[in-house]
Amino acid sequence: MNFLLDKNFPKSAEKLLTELGHRVSDIRGTEQQGANDFQLFELAQQREAILLTTDRDFYHTVPLVHANHYGVVVIALKQPNRKAILARLRWVVSQPIIDTIQNTVILLRDHTYRIRRT
């Protein structure tokens, strides 16, 4: 699978996903580094990538505005830290839902998740 990391997502996610056999892009250190949410989402679409973010706005807006997309995973924890975010990321990529994430936004909480399809 192909993933794009939002600027607010732990950089260590790239190593984790790469070790699991996935391709990862990170906008930090590139000309897209200052991209707003709309530009970031469009960049993910151009790269045919699943967007990884901690920004809850994507869960609410993407299904309403975009009928077709490559998928979004939002990890929104009560006390976010690198270890907890990576644990939830590892969990979601091991689930069958990740194989059919196209046109789907997944919101992962500490112990639950929600799915919105367009």
Q: In Å, how far are 20, 92, 103 from 79, measured between CA atoms?
A: 26, 18, 28
Q: In Å, how far are 26, 32, 51, 110 from 113, measured between CA atoms?
A: 24, 30, 16, 8
Contact between 86 and 39 under an 8 Å Cβ cutoff? The reply is no
Number of domains in the chain: 1
Q: With pLDDT > 70 as the criterion, what percentage of the chain qualifies?
A: 100
Once rounded to an integer, what is the mean pLDDT over residues 67-79?
Answer: 96
Q: pLDDT band for 91, please (50, 70, 90 cuts).
A: very high
Contact between 87 and 41 under an 8 Å Cβ cutoff? The reply is no
Looking at residue 99, its pLDDT comes to 94
Over 90: is that where the pLDDT of 95 sits? yes
At which residue do the structure tokens 């639950």 appear? 112
Domain that residue 87 falls in? 2-117
Once rounded to an integer, what is the mean pLDDT over residues 34-45?
Answer: 92
Over 90: is that where the pLDDT of 97 sits? yes
Q: pLDDT band for 81, please (50, 70, 90 cuts).
A: very high
Beta bridge partners of 43: none
pTM: 0.94
pLDDT, tens digit, for every residue of 17-39?
A: 999 999 999 988 888 888 898 99
Looking at residue 31, its pLDDT comes to 85
Beta bridge partners of 27: none
